[in-house]
Structure 1
Amino acid sequence: MKVIPLLEGVYEVSLKKDFHYVSPDLIDGKPTEGYYLIVRPFLVQIGDENILIDAGYGGEEECEPILIKKLRENGLNSTAISKVLISHLHKDHINGIGTWIGEEFVCNFPNAQIYIQQKEYDYAIAQTNNSYNYERLEKLKNFKNIVWMNENEGDISENIHFEMTGGHVPFQQVFWIKNNDETVFYGADNLPQLNYLKYHAAFKNDVDGHKAMEDRLRWEEQAKNEYWKILFYHGKRTDIKQF
């Protein structure tokens, strides 16, 4: 099993949740308003399977999605992605699932099965805040390759297990990918950075910060006992931690 971080970039996020791409050199600075945010999907390869974990914000360079460019730098076309695992539908995790071509929103991964929790979708489209891109969420309903998930926990394949944990948002999902004696874990925004393990705290930007904190404590213990490899989507300097 091979894990490849696909750094989309660093964004300046305003208090109104507007995203602006900035130079990675600015990550140690402090914006005048809001904060800087790393966006880093992951590619996991098992045999012929190319599994993408979350889809990024959808930033572009020279009219091409940065995520597709990153895949190409690693020897893959976007058509080679076989599965896309979506943790939740905040725009920095889902926008990159597609691209506007004229007035049409086209899937960036046409040969993949895209796994999205139905409860998360229903929740997301009922909200009225700038954490979501409602125009793109509406377009998702036209994609023929989405697998709408309704279970709270289960197996996507013999290698992929999911659990709907809540915490950051009520219906967020997390994923375990296993192959032989290796376990890769993705805790999404309940565990977005390594330093979240250092501070046993409930964070205000979570819908249920105490639930997210309890999850982190449980996962850390399991990771140490079972030698997990943990992936950090928003990690400032650490993208993968091997326990």
Structure 2
Amino acid sequence: MKVIPLFEGVYHVDENKEFQFKSQDIIEGKPESGYYLNVRPFLVQVADDNILIDTGFGGEIDCEPIVLRKLREHHIEPNQITKVLISHLHKDHANGLGNWVGEQFVCNFPNALIYIQQREYDYAISQTNNSYNYEHLEKLKSFKNIIWMNKNQGQISNQVEFELTGGHVPFQQVFWIKENDETVFYGADNLPQLNYLRYHAAFKNDIDGIKAMEDRLRWEVEAKKKHWTILFYHGKRTATNKF
């Protein structure tokens, strides 16, 4: 199994959840207002699969989605992605599923099976806040390669397991990818950075901060016991850590 972080870049996020692309490199310090957000999808190569975990905000350089550019830097074409695992539908995790080509919204990963929780989609489209891209969400209904998930936990393949955890949002899901004695874990925004393990706290940006905190405590114990490699989507200096 091979894990490849695909660092999309740093975005400035203001109080209205408006995103502005700032840099392809880590930015030190803090802005005068709002905050900087590092965005990092992951490519996991296991068995015969090229698995993309979350898809980034959808930023572009020279009219090309950055996530596609990053894949090509690792000699992977978008049509070689076999599975896309979506933890939740906030725009910094799901915008990269598609992009506009002229007046047509096209899937960036046409040969992949895209796994999304149906309840997360239903919840997302019922919201009115700026954490979601409602135009993109509406267009997702036309994608024929989405697997709409309804179970709370289970297996996607022999290597991939999922569990609906809630926490950050009510229907967020997390993933384990296993091969032989190796386990890669993605806790999404319940565990977005390594330093979240240093503070046993509930964070106000989570719908259910207590649940997210309890998940982190449980995962840390198991990660140390079973030597997981954990992926950090919003990590600044640490993309992965093996326990």
TM-score range, shorter chain: over 0.9
1:132-159 deviations in Å (ceiling 9; x for gaps): 0000000000000000000000000010
> Letter of the aligned partner of 1:212 in structure 2?
A
* Residue 99 (structure 1) aligns with: 99
- Of the structure 1 ranges 219-228 and 21-30, higher mean CA displacement relative to structure 2 is found in 21-30
Please report the TM-score for the alignment, with normalisation by the length of structure 2: 0.99
* Residue 144 (structure 2) aligns with: 144
* Residue 157 (structure 2) aligns with: 157
Secondary structure of residue in 2 paired with 1:139: helix
Q: Give runs of aligned pairs for residues 112-151 of structure 1, distance below 5 A.
A: 112-151=112-151
Q: CA deviation at 1:32?
A: 2.0
Question: Are the aligned partners of 2:8 and 2:24 in contact in 1 as well (CA < 8 Å)?
Answer: no
Q: Give runs of aligned pairs for residues 62-77 of structure 1, distance below 5 A.
A: 62-77=62-77
* Residue 49 (structure 1) aligns with: 49
1:97-148 deviations in Å (ceiling 9; x for gaps): 0010122110000000000000000000000000000000000000000000
Secondary structure of residue in 1 paired with 2:225: helix
- Change in Cα spacing, 1:186 to 1:15, as seen in structure 2 (3 Å) is same
Secondary structure of residue in 2 paired with 1:43: strand
1:28-86 deviations in Å (ceiling 9; x for gaps): 12212210000000000013210000010000000000000000000110000000000
Q: CA deviation at 1:172?
A: 0.1
Aligned-partner Cα distance in 1 for 2:93–2:23: 20
- The question of 1:225 aligning with 2:225 is answered yes
Q: CA deviation at 1:27?
A: 1.9
User: CA-atom RMSD, angstroms?
Assistant: 0.8
Aligned-partner Cα distance in 1 for 2:163–2:31: 35
Secondary structure of residue in 2 paired with 1:176: strand
Aligned-partner Cα distance in 1 for 2:23–2:203: 27
* Residue 36 (structure 1) aligns with: 36
Q: Give runs of aligned pairs for residues 19-30 of structure 1, distance below 5 A.
A: 19-24=19-24, 27-30=27-30
Secondary structure of residue in 2 paired with 1:200: coil
Aligned-partner Cα distance in 2 for 1:30–1:38: 12
Aligned-partner Cα distance in 2 for 1:148–1:203: 29
5+ residue gaps in structure 1?
A: none
1:176-216 deviations in Å (ceiling 9; x for gaps): 00000000000000000000000000000000000000000
5+ residue gaps in structure 2?
A: none
Aligned-partner Cα distance in 2 for 1:23–1:126: 32
Please report the TM-score for the alignment, with normalisation by the length of structure 1: 0.99
> Letter of the aligned partner of 1:226 in structure 2?
K
Aligned-partner Cα distance in 1 for 2:26–2:10: 8
> Letter of the aligned partner of 2:28 in structure 1?
D
> Letter of the aligned partner of 1:4 in structure 2?
I
Q: CA deviation at 1:26?
A: 6.2
Post-superposition, which runs of at least 4 consecutive aligned residues in structure 1 deviate over 4 A?
A: none
* Residue 183 (structure 2) aligns with: 183
> Letter of the aligned partner of 1:149 in structure 2?
M
- The question of 1:209 aligning with 2:209 is answered yes
Secondary structure of residue in 1 paired with 2:170: coil
- The question of 1:235 aligning with 2:235 is answered yes
Aligned-partner Cα distance in 1 for 2:84–2:23: 27
